[in-house]
């Protein structure tokens, strides 16, 4: 499938404009590493507007967690933000005043800022973060299939990071091929840089019949965590003696065919960190001990203990470790990897049921 470059740029601009920024604000830690007493808000949006804590944030999704993430509460009322973490693809400005007034403090993706670093407050005094605004800077991979040598270097030089302006009109007559493989020299650059290349700088190198492609980078999908899920009381209606209590459901994004559903146990002891990159879904329930799971999408390490539940989405990435030992039950949408040697062949014969 081929698109004219004008159509492709419009398509990319629309996607980039809709791409979300993602931040977490903390109330009592300077290093963006929550403890058991921390309240934090996870905020996500796709507009570059200014937002003030304690005020309405139209178009922004918000999750408010207390007791270090053990409990979820509504995002309402004033929130005292002493630190903020900016996740992948999120470049932000924070302010010591409401409505993004005064001097901004700028931070890039995967960085933390705290109230001792915010500009514009009282001299030598911490300045709470009262407002912020962010933009998304997801990257694309641009492959030039017929441009090499000095020309390729020139194009990389003209593709400098600038602010995205989706309304920019570019009408270079060339084609993007969204299905072909990576060809020729390639460099990773922000979407906005591609869209802001000056027409006169690259037009001589582009030919109408040459194919180009842009592939949107994959965004890491945050985990879904419920602390203490297994300890919550399940009320049974009067007159009944059993009830189901569903608490999580999605439409699978696993693309493998035929589809599989595999159950198993996970055990971890102290040692090297284990890494997981998910092209399938996994639901995991901790049975005993502690399993430390670092969500690479948020940078947050969740200390999961018995009764805690986690869900890993297609596109999630996580790091697993423990300081003691942990055992969990899981169900995954993938084929069997490693057989439980003490359970192999233990399924009861249907004739005995």
Domain limits, the chain? 2-14+138-216, 21-136, 224-336
CATH number of 224-336: 2.60.120.10
- Mean pLDDT lowest for which of 52-66, 178-192, 327-341? 178-192
What are the helix and strand counts (H, E) for the chain?
Answer: 4, 23
pLDDT for 197: 41
Q: And the tokens for 121?
A: 């407050």
Between strands 282-295 and 301-305, the pairing is antiparallel
Give the integer Cα–Cα distance in Å for 43 and 58: 11
- Domain 21-136 part of CATH 3.10.620: no
Q: In 209-258, at which residue ranges do the beta strands (DSSP E only) sit?
A: 211-216, 224-226
DSSP state of 223: P
CB atoms within 10 A of CB 28: 13
Pick left, alpha or beta for residue 110 (phi over 0 → left; psi -120 to 50 → alpha; otherwise beta): left
- Answer yes or no: are the C-beta atoms of 319 and 275 closer than 8 Å: yes
67-81, 144-158, 188-202, 221-235: least confident range? 144-158
The whole-number average pLDDT for the span 305-330 is: 95
Does 191 have pLDDT greater than 80? no
Q: Give dist(CA 239, CA 254) in Å, integer.
A: 40
> What is the predicted pLDDT for the residue at 288?
95
The Cα–Cα gap between 87 and 80 comes to 20
- Cα–Cα distance, 118 to 101 (Å, whole number): 13
The Cβ-side half-sphere exposure at 271, using a 13 Å CA radius, reads: 7
Domains 21-136 and 224-336 share a fold: no
pLDDT tens-digit series, residues 94-134:
999 999 998 889 988 888 999 888 876 655 577 789 999 99
- On whether the CB atoms of residues 98 and 75 are closer than 8 A, the answer is no
* Residue 258 in this model has a pLDDT that exceeds 50: yes
Residue 123: what pLDDT?
Answer: 59
The answer to whether 86 touches 59, Cβ cutoff 8 Å, is no
pLDDT in tens, 136-172: 865 333 333 333 333 333 333 333 333 333 333 332 2
């Amino acid at each position: 499938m081929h698109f004219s470059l004008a159509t492709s740029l419009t398509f990319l601009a629309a996607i980039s404009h809709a791409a979300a920024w993602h931040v977490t604000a903390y109330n009592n830690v300077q290093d963006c590493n929550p403890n058991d007493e921390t309240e934090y808000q996870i905020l996500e949006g796709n507009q570059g507007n200014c937002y003030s804590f304690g005020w309405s944030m139209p178009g922004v999704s918000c999750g408010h967690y207390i007791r270090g993430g053990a409990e979820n509460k509504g995002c309402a009322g004033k929130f005292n933000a002493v630190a903020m973490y900016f996740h992948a693809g999120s470049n932000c400005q924070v302010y010591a005043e409401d409505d993004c007034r005064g001097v901004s403090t700028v931070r890039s993706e995967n960085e933390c800022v705290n109230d001792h670093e915010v500009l514009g407050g009282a001299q030598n005094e911490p300045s709470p973060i009262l407002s912020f605004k962010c933009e998304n800077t997801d990257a694309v991979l641009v492959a030039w299939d017929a441009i090499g040598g000095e020309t390729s270097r020139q194009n990389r030089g003209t593709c400098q990071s600038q602010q995205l302006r989706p309304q920019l009109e570019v009408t270079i007559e060339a084609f993007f091929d969204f299905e072909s493989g990576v060809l020729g020299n390639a460099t990773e650059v922000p979407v906005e840089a591609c869209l802001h290349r000056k027409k006169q700088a690259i037009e001589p190198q582009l030919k109408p019949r040459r194919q180009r492609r842009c592939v949107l980078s994959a965004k890491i999908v945050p985990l879904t965590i419920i602390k203490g899920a297994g300890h919550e009381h399940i009320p049974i209606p009067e007159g009944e003696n059993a009830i189901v209590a569903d608490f999580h459901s999605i439409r699978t994004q696993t693309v493998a065919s035929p589809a599989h559903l595999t159950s198993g146990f996970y055990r971890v002891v102290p040692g090297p960190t284990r890494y997981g990159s998910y092209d399938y879904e996994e639901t995991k329930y901790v049975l005993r001990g502690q399993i430390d799971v670092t969500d690479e999408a948020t940078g947050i390490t969740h200390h999961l203990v018995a009764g805690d539940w986690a869900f890993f989405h297609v596109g999630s990435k996580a790091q697993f470790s423990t300081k003691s030992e942990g055992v969990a039950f899981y169900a995954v949408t993938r084929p069997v990897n490693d057989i439980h040697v003490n359970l192999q062949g233990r399924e009861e014969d249907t004739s005995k049921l």
